[in-house]
Amino acid sequence: MNNADMPAMALVEPAQLCTVNEGLSKREHLAAMAMQACRADCYQNWQDLSEDAVKMADALLAELAKESE
């Protein structure tokens, strides 16, 4: 599983000490945050906003991957 697909806010079961992969992926979470920020700007087309938000999320994940190398 790559970093983009890892859970953004993983849940941990204390009794089992394992991560439960539920909820949004990091990529989905970052794209949603980008959509919130951009929506306040000048987007009038939801399709353009959605595409740009995913591009921003992917760019951030790629930059973070460079730092961890």
**pLDDT per residue over 47-68, tens digit each?**
888 898 899 899 988 888 887 6
Q: CA 44 to CA 65: how far, in whole Å?
A: 32
Angstrom CA distances, 57 to 3, 24, 41, stand at 12, 13, 17
Angle separating helix axes 46-67 and 26-39, nearest 10 degrees: 130
pLDDT of residue 38: 78
| CA–CA dist 26, 61 (Å, integer) | 8
Res 60: pLDDT = 87
- Please list the residues that pair with 18 across neighbouring strands: 13
Question: Tell me: the pLDDT tens digits for 10-30?
Answer: 666 666 666 565 677 888 888
Higher pLDDT: 36 or 7? It is: 36
Residue 68: the pLDDT is 65
